[in-house]
Structure 1
Amino acid sequence: MRRTPHLSALLAVTACALTACAWGGDQDTKDVRPPAAPRGLTVQAGSATTAHVMWNRATDDTGVTGYDVYRGATRVKRVPGDKHMVDVVGLRPSTTYTFTVRARDAEGNVGPAGKKLTVTTPAAATADRRPPSRPGSPRGTVEGSRAVTLSWGASKDDQGVASYEIYQGTSKIHSVAGGEHRTLVTGLRPGTDYRFTVKALDAADNASPASRPVRLTTAAGRDDGRGTAPTDFRAKTRRADGAYYIDLAWTPPDTGGAVAEYQIHLDGKNATSLVFGGTAPRKKATHSFYVGREPGDTHRVKLRAKLPDGTWGGYSPERTVTTGR
């Protein structure tokens, strides 16, 4: 006599046929995709023996849990995923170093290295124990809802100021060279009160007293970053050697320092990055690039600047040009 299988057994077999059973099917898919490379790396020598490394947040399908900072081929720092800057200490004076950063996710996947940057530490000061004077008269200007411009009076030091450190409350958020007395701070929240101070650092790692605080409140709502965008942006086409080019001209954004890198956006896509070698222009910048050989082609173009803290500023107004006109 044949027996009919029990209903629950039939349901179990059917469920295993349609889904993955732990005792016979596929296991949960493991995350094997590494995070993207961190972008926007900046490196500033803080003193004769330190360097301040900053980068933008990397992306990952399951989330970045940490970053590895490399000096050459050696990992020198490991920081959590919510941190995007670090001070590297124990360097040698008058020495050039190369830094890069990799991102990690929860499964231990390590992404590719970001852009490599070099920095040269200043010469050491002999038996220097005297700190720089307190930076003078900090001032600030709100640049919309997500950025502020800070400026301060120069500090004095018997051996020279190597860098200035900018603090938001008690947290160090930025560092600039000793010859700079102005900077743009981005990545802030709309409608928020902030308290900034500045300290000067010499080559021997002596820190000055903090400047008096400057308090600023970012604008409410959202903006498009116009306060950080290039201005007086112009574009035109020209023909040379049987090909067409787009000539660009603009005024760099006022960041307190030279802007060395820009991103050109052409016809709705990021076309290329422009990096000025040597001394980057501060008052007027120009660039020309190839777009093809056919007349009558219409193109839309705009650009944005990489700011001192490694983030991208707002886009310039978009211009439309047509080859052969």
Structure 2
Amino acid sequence: MEGITVQRPHARTASACSAALLLAALTACGGSAEADTESPTAPEGVTVQAGSATSAHVMWERASDNEGITGYDVYREGKKILSVPATKLMTDIDGLTASTAYTFTVRARDAAENLSAPSASVPVTTPAAAPADEEPPTGPTKLRGTADGGRTVTLSWGGSTDDVGVTSYDVYQEDQRIHSVPGTRTTARLTGLRPGTVYTFTVRARDAADRSSPDSNALDLTTRSTAGAPASTAPTGLRTETTARGEESLVDLSWDQPDTGGTIPAYQLFLNGGLTTTIVWGGTPPTGRATYRLTLTDPPGTRYSVKIRPKLPDGTWGDFSAQRTVVLPG
């Protein structure tokens, strides 16, 4: 009997060790001992702005999850109307009715399709239709701003005018709308930016007929770097000048080269976010301010965004310059 009594604990220990080995093997092979059953947190900071008589702009703050957010679902009156990827924290809702009250909520979603609780409900009422609104607003003026830290900037501008009324102002970064505020406001605070990064902002006014104004002046702001971060390698002072030559358009670029501790042998030039050409100097690379002429054959009025980045002495590509917008001349 004593031998049996002694062996039983060893049998239980062997079983426990086998279970531990099995769990370790599953983990090593990519298995998961437990499914993801934890829901994300509910999005906070939801705001809704009526962009026109038939549209609204919904924005929210990033939610969190133990595994990671994969998307957000937007609801109107409790019914899901669209989904967006996790990289987006805003969306436009079209097809609304003028002079109508709506309520919106947002829910976060993870890879296991767990949904967060709904955000707080946010009401909005679309303005009355303005069939007599024939003119777009004037462009905002004197856009200015400050970098409040590594991830936040504050913008302000001079108000626009419209034959009926301005309903909202839209903030653009590299030709992508990233924020909207009511037409009664001429300031915006932008968060979630990257430290030590140059951003180019413009603002457009919008009226109840959903017509947008021309761009404001472009504003370059660089967020503060984090402690110990390497210095920026972005070219600065990028300027553009366009002229027509027959059926061609000439775009002359000039910029101040960054201090990289060595010679910059080449630059990459991007149009509308895509790599267009690599600028390689035919002889000795210039020092100080550099220039380059780009020839385009697109029709007059074609709009392009332009930015560049340097090839560093170690062979890697550096930071992007601020972006410039050019419109080809007629």
Bucket of the pairwise TM-score, normalised by the shorter protein: 0.5 to 0.7
The 5 A counterparts of 1:95-110 are 95-110=100-115
Which of these residues, 42, 55, 59, is aligned with residue 37 of structure 1? 42
Give how far 1:177 is off: 0.7
User: CA offsets, 1:129-150, max 9 Å, x none?
Assistant: 4211111121112223322221
Q: Which amino acid aligns with 1:184?
A: R
Which of these residues, 145, 150, 157, is aligned with residue 150 of structure 2? 145
- SS in structure 2 of the partner of residue 200 of structure 1: strand
State the TM-score, normalized to the length of structure 2.
0.59
Which of these residues, 209, 217, 231, is aligned with residue 214 of structure 2? 209
Is 1:67 equivalent to 2:52 in the alignment? no
Counterpart-to-counterpart distance in 2, 1:202 and 1:213: 21
Is this contact kept in 2: 1:129–1:206, CA < 8 A? no
Match in the other structure for 2:22: 19
Give how far 1:187 is off: 2.2
Is this contact kept in 2: 1:35–1:60, CA < 8 A? yes
Which of these residues, 50, 53, 59, is aligned with residue 48 of structure 1? 53
User: CA offsets, 1:84-105, max 9 Å, x none?
Assistant: 1111111111111111001111
Q: Which amino acid aligns with 1:57?
A: R
Q: Which amino acid aligns with 2:164?
A: Q
Is this contact kept in 1: 2:160–2:205, CA < 8 A? yes
The 5 A counterparts of 1:114-193 are 114-193=119-198
User: CA offsets, 1:284-310, max 9 Å, x none?
Assistant: xxxxxxxxxxxxxxxxxxxxxxxxxxx
User: CA offsets, 1:71-116, max 9 Å, x none?
Assistant: 1111111001111111111111111111100111111111110111
Q: Which amino acid aligns with 1:90?
A: G
Q: Which amino acid aligns with 1:161?
A: V
- SS in structure 2 of the partner of residue 94 of structure 1: coil
Match in the other structure for 2:83: 78
Give how far 1:176 is off: 0.6
Is this contact kept in 1: 2:206–2:213, CA < 8 A? yes
Match in the other structure for 1:94: 99
The count of corresponding residues between Structure 1 and Structure 2 is: 209
Pick which of 11-20 and 82-91 moved more.
11-20
- SS in structure 1 of the partner of residue 217 of structure 2: coil
Is this contact kept in 1: 2:78–2:105, CA < 8 A? no
Match in the other structure for 1:200: 205
Q: Which amino acid aligns with 1:80?
A: P
Counterpart-to-counterpart distance in 2, 1:203 and 1:45: 9
Question: Identity of aligned pairs, percent?
Answer: 53
The 5 A counterparts of 1:223-262 are none
Counterpart-to-counterpart distance in 2, 1:17 and 1:53: 49
Is this contact kept in 2: 1:201–1:207, CA < 8 A? yes
Larger relative contact order (C-alpha < 8 A, sep ≥ 6)?
1
Is this contact kept in 2: 1:197–1:211, CA < 8 A? yes
Counterpart-to-counterpart distance in 1, 2:176 and 2:54: 21
Q: Which amino acid aligns with 1:188?
A: L
User: CA offsets, 1:232-289, max 9 Å, x none?
Assistant: xxxxxxxxxxxxxxxxxxxxxxxxxxxxxxxxxxxxxxxxxxxxxxxxxxxxxxxxxx
State the TM-score, normalized to the length of structure 1.
0.60
Q: Mark the CA change 1:155 to 1:52 in structure 2 (over 3 Å): closer, same or farther.
A: same
Q: Mark the CA change 1:95 to 1:27 in structure 2 (over 3 Å): closer, same or farther.
A: same
Q: Which amino acid aligns with 1:97?
A: Y
Unpaired stretches in structure 2, ≥5 consecutive residues: 1-13, 228-330
Q: Mark the CA change 1:13 to 1:150 in structure 2 (over 3 Å): closer, same or farther.
A: closer
Unpaired stretches in structure 1, ≥5 consecutive residues: 1-10, 223-325
- SS in structure 2 of the partner of residue 46 of structure 1: strand
Give how far 1:47 is off: 1.0
Pick the structure with greater CA Rg.
2
Counterpart-to-counterpart distance in 2, 1:52 and 1:73: 17
Q: Which amino acid aligns with 2:212?
A: A
Counterpart-to-counterpart distance in 2, 1:48 and 1:17: 63
Is this contact kept in 1: 2:42–2:116, CA < 8 A? yes
Counterpart-to-counterpart distance in 1, 2:127 and 2:16: 72
- SS in structure 2 of the partner of residue 19 of structure 1: helix
Give how far 1:154 is off: 1.3
